Amino acid sequence: MNKSIITDMDASDPLAKKRADFEIPAGKIYLNGNSLGPLTRAARARAQETIDQQWGQDLNASWNRHHWIDLPLTTGAKIAALMGAAPSQVVCCDSVSINLFKLLSCALQLQSDRSMVLSQRDNFPTDLYIVEGLSHLLGSSHCSLRLEDAGSLEPALDSRPAVLLLSQVNFRSAELHDISRLTQLAHENGTLVIWDLSHSVGVLPLELDKWQVDFAVGCGYKYLNGGPGAPAFLYVADRHLANISQPLSGWMGHRAPFDFQPSYDACDGIDQFLCGTPPIISMSVLDSALEVFSDVSLAQLRAKSVQLGELFLSLLGQNDSLAELQLQSPENGANRGSQLAFAHPSAYAISQALSAAGVVADFRSPDLLRFGFSPLFLSFADVWESIQILVAILADERYKDPAFKQRLKVT
């Protein structure tokens, strides 16, 4: 494959124009949007407006004048639109971990005769830690955790768990679960599902309502580009909203918070999942970052994401680098999310060498290199350039030389 083919791919890419919405640092190829999405122009402008005008000038009047009080729901509705969910079922608040605690409590409440949470051994760890925390609080007879490898999850549903808790995209390998199929199998066993969509939302087409998902959580700072530690979100299917009460019952989930009544009276809707006062600056930034999705479809994003990954793999193959970099992700793009992981004994050094050469990838202990493909701002030329740099680094093993980084800066 030569560079002119790449140029043609970019020229015919309907998403190519979206890169102008982002502030990608000059000279960097950012293959880490799966860890922290980059700054958008909209987010920079909204942060300034929120700080200078809304907070600085209008002060506490902004809770109403600039609709701060509605932000968890309005931002939630924008996220719902990316997940095939009616807007009344998604709210933006807190962190993934805290939201998962709320949803786990609710799911166990609905399953009064069951207590076991089934999850995957290499699920993202915070999800497992939160089950542990709830189990410790309630006692193992009310909440216990069973861990299985990916291939053993379906048979384990026979043991009739209360909850099946999974991430759609494995955070290391990007291997995909079939949400529709596993949700249906779970329901056939009387099991409720909680999906962690942190590595999914904004890059994978989702149909939460159609798939009859019960609950979901996800973060705002990966493919949603909401900024470091952006607030998270949660989804609860409408059919459950009337039958649950979540334990983190702070005043923002009260039906009339400004009546200051001593007794809690939860909102009816998804706003019952609010707790304390939301971090308005961080949430406004996330809200504005979602604007870049207004004129694109998830099908377009998914198609380009798969193309970017395929190109990366095929160029690596052409350069005979796939023997050295052991692919840890599914080979078939349809079976993985929007990243590729490779094992290499010098993964950390290579990630540092790449970074010094302007290619930002991620290292995951102990030996994984992870490359993320955000279709909103990456070009096919970016993939081409990053492969040239990666292959050069692998070829002469310069990354093993302590002086390497310095030399690269000079040349």
Residues serving a catalytic function are 124, 196, 221-222, 370
Strand-strand pairing, 144-148 and 116-120: parallel
**Alpha-carbon torsion, ordered 24, 30, 36, 42, to 10 deg:** 20
In the complex, least distance from residue 183 CB atom to a second copy, rounded to whole angstroms: 23
**Distance of alpha carbon 170 from alpha carbon 177, whole angstroms:** 8
Interacting positions 185-204 with a second copy (CB under 8 A):
none
**Quick check: 272 binds a second copy (CB under 8 A)?**
no
Using the minimum distance from each CB to a second copy, give the nearer residue, 56 or 317.
56
The three-state secondary structure class of 364 is strand
In the complex, least distance from residue 44 CB atom to a second copy, rounded to whole angstroms: 6
In the complex, least distance from residue 211 CB atom to a second copy, rounded to whole angstroms: 26
Interacting positions 290-349 with a second copy (CB under 8 A):
none
**Quick check: 56 binds a second copy (CB under 8 A)?**
yes
**Quick check: 30 binds a second copy (CB under 8 A)?**
yes
Query: Running DSSP on this structure, what letter comes out for residue 123?
Result: S
Q: Is the dihedral of CA 121, 124, 125, 128 positive or negative?
A: negative
Q: Which two tokens stand for residue 172?
A: 């290391």
**Quick check: 251 binds a second copy (CB under 8 A)?**
yes
**Distance of alpha carbon 359 from alpha carbon 11, whole angstroms:** 22
Residue type, 160: R
Binding segment toward a second copy, per CB under 8 A, in 13-21, 276-284, 303-311, 374-382:
276-284
Using the minimum distance from each CB to a second copy, give the nearer residue, 25 or 190.
25
Using the minimum distance from each CB to a second copy, give the nearer residue, 61 or 392.
61
**Alpha-carbon torsion, ordered 12, 15, 16, 22, to 10 deg:** 180
Q: Which two tokens stand for residue 127?
A: 């999800």
**Distance of alpha carbon 54 from alpha carbon 60, whole angstroms:** 8
The pair phi, psi for residue 348, each rounded to 5°, is: -65, -45
Binding segment toward a second copy, per CB under 8 A, in 98-106, 110-118, 161-169, 328-336:
98-106
**Quick check: 358 binds a second copy (CB under 8 A)?**
no
In the complex, least distance from residue 234 CB atom to a second copy, rounded to whole angstroms: 12
Contact pattern from residue 211 through residue 250 relative to a second copy, giving x for each residue in contact according to CB under 8 A and a dash for the rest: --------x-x-----xxxxxx------------xxxxxx
Among 11, 12, 188, 262, binds a second copy (CB under 8 A): 262
First-to-last CA distance in the chain?
27
The pair phi, psi for residue 26, each rounded to 5°, is: -60, 140
In the complex, least distance from residue 45 CB atom to a second copy, rounded to whole angstroms: 10
Interacting positions 126-155 with a second copy (CB under 8 A):
126, 128-130, 132-134, 136-138, 147
